[in-house]
Amino acid sequence: MPAPMKQTVRRPLTRSLLVTSATLASLALTAPMSLAAPSPTPSASKSPSASPSSSPSGSASSSASGSATATPPANTSSVGGTRLGQAGTQVALAGDAPVLPKDLTSRSWIVADAESGDVLASHNAHWRLPPASTMKMLFADTVLPKFPKTTTHKVDPKDLEGMGSGSSLVGIKEGETYSVHDLWLGVFLRSGNDAVHVLSAMNGGVADTVKEMNEHADDLQALDTHVVSPDGYDAPGQVSSAYDLTLFARSGLQKADFREYCSTVTAKFPGETKKNKKGKKVRETFEIQNTNRLLSGDYDISQYPGIAGVKNGNTTNAGATFTGVAERGGRVLLVTVMNPEKSDHNEVYKETAALFDWGFKAAGKVTPVGELVAPKGSAQASAQPGANPSASASGKAGQAGGAGDASPQAAVSAVAENGTRGMWTALAITGGVLVLLAGGAYLVNRRWPLPDLVRRRR
């Protein structure tokens, strides 16, 4: 029998966020975009998404055999700031700011403040590399709002066609019926390519879904990204960057359901319908665990204090990739790490944890080297988390003070459901709402509803 679900306590962050309107903030929009991202270079080999990689390669043009001499291109995108387009490590230390961790071997990484969007430090931030299953963040941010979580779907054999050999699977069975809630748990916890393909089938098919993902990436100004497969499975020309993956995470975390799924450690998943000894058809469940080791822990790495998601991946071409979000002392950081050269077990999580530790110590002591830009059509400040959140299509969770709200609510919550969902609360600061309808502008002082998921292993 599967172990019972462990409920976790989630509380809102204590840090307020100032969001200004497009009318006011557009005057200060200064993010440079002088260089377009280079065209993706096709990769010859394919490999399973989120599967162990014995020989990662470092770039879209690298071979599957791996090469420690892989170097970033001379010219990359400068979205978010000119320094982010420069090769190598970018950091501006001052005073008593701590030095960066030693022995960082990842080909690309970034440390950013999730609320302000400031990039505290980066290394080859716009290097276009295979993303592996971290691409599922963009898939979720694109598709998740479309279907209420209570919607059910009976799996047709055609739904599972086209998956790459050796794909990571949650265990979807043909002819069985699953809820959208089940499918998203399979995507986030087990990185199930089968769950991605079923959701893509519900969304009009893989081709339509890929088209929408590329369009959404463009809207987010994630110009390093080219989607070929919605699940992140290695495919010729499929690339992204540490900068873009961080944009996807930041956008996805505006959605309550996205936050719920990416922070869930264990859940029950429907099994196959079978006849019991009495000849009666029964359908039991089995337990699935999140493969994000900073969230679930492992024999050689502990759960990271304050971790709240987001997504990991591993393929032959991509190596290990990971984007994480964590909170400490009221500050929320996003860290993305791509393809560590060091082959130690869980190295991608160890380097991420080291960058988180540095970021929390360095915040406020370093000069930002760039910024996470706003989506197209938005003012710079409206890209701040919480400015224009997207509520779940299920209608069970909403956000206060979203863009376009004529009368922003002070607080909205979503209640725990079936042991896999905790309570999420978004609080508006007292007196922090000022609506200026005549000028088409509004000012909202609010908190970003990210959970505190500090867990201690017993």
Catalytically active residues, by annotation:
133, 136, 191
Three-state secondary-structure class, residue 284: coil
Q: Which two tokens stand for residue 364?
A: 């406020």
What gap in Å lies between CA 186 and CA 165, rounded to an integer?
Answer: 18
Sign of the dihedral defined by the CA atoms of residues 95, 113, 86, 313, in that order: positive
What gap in Å lies between CA 237 and CA 252, rounded to an integer?
Answer: 24
Angle between helices 242-252 and 136-143 (to 10 degrees): 30
- Give one DSSP letter per residue of 348-391, joined into a string: HHHHHHHHHHHHHHHTTTB---EE-PPPTTS-GGGGSTTSS---
Cis, bond preceding 310 (omega within 30 deg of 0) = yes
Three-state secondary-structure class, residue 198: helix
Angle at 199 between CA 157 and CA 285, to 5 degrees: 75
**331 DSSP β-pair partners:** 328
What gap in Å lies between CA 32 and CA 25, rounded to an integer?
Answer: 16
3-state class percentages of the chain: helix first, strand second, coil last, to nearest 5: 25, 25, 55
Residue found under tokens 């007196």: 431
What amino acid occupies position 177? T
What gap in Å lies between CA 257 and CA 269, rounded to an integer?
Answer: 17
CA atoms within a 13 Å half-sphere pointing along the CA-CB vector of 177: 4
The H-assigned helical ranges of 238-317 are: 242-252, 256-262, 293-296
Contact yes or no for 243/142 (Cβ under 8 A): no
Angle at 90 between CA 89 and CA 93, to 5 degrees: 115
